[in-house]
Amino acid sequence: MSTYKSISVITQDAKMLDLIERIKKVADSEISVLLIGETGVGKEVFTDYIHHLSHRGPQPLVKIGLATLPPDLLESELFGFEKGSFTNADHSKLGMFELADNGSLFLDDIDDAPLKVQAKLLRALEADEIRHIGGTKPIPINVRLICASKLELKDLVERKLFRQDLYYRINVIELRIPPLRERKKDIPLLVSHFLKRFRDKKELTVSDEVMEIFMNFEWPGNVRELRNVLQRSALFAEDTIEISDLPDRFREIDNVDRIIKACKICFENEEMPYSQLISCIETRLLSEAITETNGNQSHAARKLGMKLSTFRDKIKKLEIGQ
């Protein structure tokens, strides 16, 4: 299996490689593309890739998130307005369609588009022309449309929240981007890529324990979440990102796993008093950490997310290694 890289599309996953091959076949056409995928999977990255593969690549790629603006402002951003068309309109302004002329227009979160805006979008796409707010003159447009949705638009159509005619107009080619939890083989590649970006002047790696946590994590925020975790952790790490450098939610997951693995017998012993169970758990966790770090107490404390002083107090109290 080969690894493919372009415009930061980094993968060795079979589904992703198939997706890239499909994109190659449709990128240079004029048809509209609908990208479906969870938040953070990289829909904007794939938009860049599609645009730059097409003959429109040298022309503008204009992007707008439909979830970030109120309906009235969204309409003026998309279609532009004439001077005096509303309060504070003391000048005329070009809309996104005009700015993207001869290039591509990316409408992110199309599932959040209000019905009023959906109607105007459909008219613009069907007629290949727009009108400014407050204007009467039709303005011809020549754009390649790329839309992205985090939700199933078919479900929204059935609930009357999305126009069926607009759905069919934008969904000529549908491309589904799998979530990161379904392409775990990409995690080491993405980790390496992001670490080079965040510490380009100094080599930075992740420990085996951290990589194991990453491989077992579900990543609800997908690639964006992985990137943010690495960017944050890189600020605290020296040469290697350890468990102690990760956000709390990862350390908690790791410690729960350690407890379950280290104290399976304790949990199965129903006659063991609670105080003895806690003592057993702590003893096993601390002893295991010391063994794994070859007696390096500072490193062992970091692995458990403890302060060194707390770690030393506990091993003294539990008489570990004495």
Which residues are CB-contacts of 86 (< 8 A; sequence separation ≥ 6)?
Answer: 133, 134
Stretch 22-50: mean pLDDT, rounded? Answer: 95
Which residues are CB-contacts of 265 (< 8 A; sequence separation ≥ 6)?
Answer: none
CA count, 13 A, side-chain hemisphere, 76? 17
* Beta pairing, strands 173-176 & 33-36: parallel
DSSP assignment string, 260-287: HHHTHHHHH-TTS-HHHHHHHHHHHHHH
CB 46 within 8 A of CB 23: yes
Hey, how many other C-beta atoms are within 10 angstroms of the C-beta on 96? 21
CB 69 within 8 A of CB 77: yes
CB 253 within 8 A of CB 217: yes
Q: Which amino acid is at 169?
A: R
Hey, how many other C-beta atoms are within 10 angstroms of the C-beta on 170? 24
* Beta pairing, strands 61-65 & 173-176: unpaired
Spatial separation of the C-alpha atoms in residues 130 and 107, rounded to whole Å? 16
Does the structure show a pLDDT above 70 at 264?
no
Residue 98: closest CA among 126, 120, 128, 67: 128
What DSSP character marks residue 18? H
Lowest mean pLDDT, pick from 107-116, 219-228, 243-252, 257-266: 257-266
Which residues are CB-contacts of 307 (< 8 A; sequence separation ≥ 6)?
Answer: 301
Angle at 239 between CA 180 and CA 251, to 5 degrees: 50
Question: What does the pLDDT look like over 12-32, one tens digit per residue?
Answer: 999 999 999 999 999 999 999
Rg (CA), the chain: 27
Spatial separation of the C-alpha atoms in residues 174 and 161, rounded to whole Å? 19
Hey, how many other C-beta atoms are within 10 angstroms of the C-beta on 199? 17
State percent of the chain over pLDDT 70.
88
Spatial separation of the C-alpha atoms in residues 200 and 221, rounded to whole Å? 25
The domains of the chain, with CATH numbers, are 4-178 (3.40.50.300), 182-317 (1.10.8.60)
Stretch 36-57: mean pLDDT, rounded? Answer: 95
Spatial separation of the C-alpha atoms in residues 236 and 218, rounded to whole Å? 23
pLDDT band for position 194 (cuts 50, 70, 90): very high
Q: What is the pLDDT of residue 2?
A: 43
Cα separations in angstroms, 288 against 44, 183, 261, 283: 44, 31, 11, 8
What DSSP character marks residue 161? S
Question: What does the pLDDT look like over 265-296, one tens digit per residue?
Answer: 565 656 667 677 777 777 877 887 888 788 88
What DSSP character marks residue 322? -
Hey, how many other C-beta atoms are within 10 angstroms of the C-beta on 103? 18
Lowest mean pLDDT, pick from 7-16, 58-67, 132-141, 158-167: 7-16
